[in-house]
Amino acid sequence: MILKRNIFSAILFLLFLATPSFISFNAFADRLLHDKAQYHSNLWERVRSGFALALPPNNKAIRKIAASYIQNPQAFNRIVTNGERYLFYIMEEVERRGMPMEIALLPIIESAYDPLLKSNKQAAGLWQFIPETGRIMGLEQTVWHDDRRDIVASTQAALDYLQYLYQRFDNWKLALAAYNLGEGAVSKILAKHIHKGRSINFYDVNLPSEVKHYIYKILAMKDIVVNAKKYGLQLRSVPNRPYFDTVKIHDHIDIPLVARLANISEVEFTALNPAYNRYVIKVSDQPRTLLVPKEKKEVFVRNLETYHDPRISWQFYRVKKGEKISEIATRHETTVKQLQVINGIARNKNLTLGQKILVPQIVAENRVNNSSLKKRAQRDQSLVYVVRRGDTLYELAKRYRTTVDQIKRWNNSDENLSIGQKLVMLKG
């Protein structure tokens, strides 16, 4: 298979040299990808066409594993549904690098396509990088942001790592085994086989049973995708087009505000941008790249450009000498627990001099706003309601015996609710 791929690459290169337009090889590759996108309407068809790993001589183990996955078709389809956001991007990157398409199914085994999954060994993200390997592969991990959960960064790092492992072991199944067990452990096992003059074919190598089972699970996923009907499974059709697009953010911004400006739910935002650990997206020297559904990019960019109110409801505060978190919480009209949660501060941990933490935005402005709201409430025989998680305008209108439109008129607002927002409500 490798020989065939090298011959095919050589043919492409010769065609490239003969092309009078002198287009670059990358542009030529992009054109090939575009043609494939046009040819396949269902993404699964395109995935199937890129499979390259052979099944073992005895397929009983593969069928047994596949059967265990499809015993609960609802659970399996949930995994597939989770992956629909990411599969096109991963598939195109795998295809662009000339890697076996089975690798696009690897996140099913690693994380069930759940980028928020964290294992007992502290592995995180679609590709389940442990902290040390993540750092080696250049994945930033701070209290604000964890690139191991970033869809684009983690995918690029995982594919880079797998290509490195393939170059080292010259076999994709051994490369995948090293991804699971560790390259050092696989190298030692192979060295013993070579020293004893034994075969280093994947099926002959004395790998731990759980590692071979890991490879069989990947091959079982391939078998399910290829032979879904044989297993009595109906794979949901996935459009063969990008699910998301990228937008650069140059300033700090609240996550709920991003969701509101993009006209998406916070659940959808988190599914596409699971790397952010806090309520606020912190931007340092370099802009941050956000993912938004492709059809929402235009409206998000337009809303962001025309939005002139403060983009964060929290501000950065530098801790002074001897300050306690309880004092800062009182001064900024919040609670110790909320400051601990928003800043990732352990319950019994003291603050340090110069430490930067998030506190509610500009207390003076809050007091002015609170004062005007209270005066308005007293004048109109009304009360001030602070929006909580899960509140909706419909539920509030029902509770206060009014209408959604009336609440919007009382508050001179036509926007969605945000947690902590203060609403004037007339007593019914």
Q: What pLDDT is attached to residue 16?
A: 44
> Residue type for 83, please?
G
Which residues of 126-251 form beta strands (DSSP E)? 244-249
Measure the CA–CA gap between 376 and 383, rounded to whole angstroms. 9
Cβ contact 262:299 at 8 Å? yes
Report which of residues 327 and 421 the model is more confident about.
Answer: 327
Active-site pick, 92, 95, 102, 110: 110
Measure the CA–CA gap between 420 and 428, rounded to whole angstroms. 23
Cβ contact 158:171 at 8 Å? no
Rounded to 5°, angle at Cα 97 from 295 and 56: 110
Q: Is the pLDDT of residue 147 over 90?
A: yes
Measure the CA–CA gap between 396 and 399, rounded to whole angstroms. 5
- Determine which helix (DSSP H) or strand (DSSP E) holds 419, and give its type and residue range: none
Q: What pLDDT is attached to residue 370?
A: 54
- Reported confidence tier of residue 34, pLDDT bands at 50, 70, 90: low
Mean pLDDT of 255-282: 92
Q: Is the pLDDT of residue 8 over 70?
A: no
- Reported confidence tier of residue 9, pLDDT bands at 50, 70, 90: very low
**117 C-beta neighbours (distance < 10 Å), count:** 17
Q: Is the pLDDT of residue 300 over 80?
A: yes
Q: Is the pLDDT of residue 55 over 50?
A: yes
Measure the CA–CA gap between 224 and 132, rounded to whole angstroms. 33
Which residues have a Cβ under 8 Å from the Cβ of 209 and sit 6 or more positions away?
Answer: none
With CA atoms as reference, report the closest residue to 88 among 161, 166, 152: 152
**Considering the entire predicted model, what is its pTM?**
0.72
Which residues of 244-379 form beta strands (DSSP E)? 244-249, 253-254, 280-281, 288-293, 314-318, 356-360
Q: Is the pLDDT of residue 316 over 80?
A: no
Q: What pLDDT is attached to residue 414?
A: 63
With CA atoms as reference, report the closest residue to 112 among 151, 84, 83, 149: 83
For the chain, what percent of residues have pLDDT higher than 90? 46
> Residue type for 316, please?
F
Q: Is the pLDDT of residue 334 over 90?
A: no
- Reported confidence tier of residue 388, pLDDT bands at 50, 70, 90: confident
Q: Is-catalytic flag, 295?
A: no
Tokens linked to 407? 């609440």
pLDDT tens for each residue of 219-253:
999 999 999 988 888 888 889 999 999 999 998 89
Q: What pLDDT is attached to residue 183?
A: 93
Mean pLDDT, the chain, integer: 83
Query: How many CA atoms lie within 13 Å of 4's alpha carbon, on the beta-carbon side?
Result: 3
Cβ contact 89:152 at 8 Å? yes
Q: Is the pLDDT of residue 368 over 80?
A: no
Map tokens 């990008």 to a residue.
242
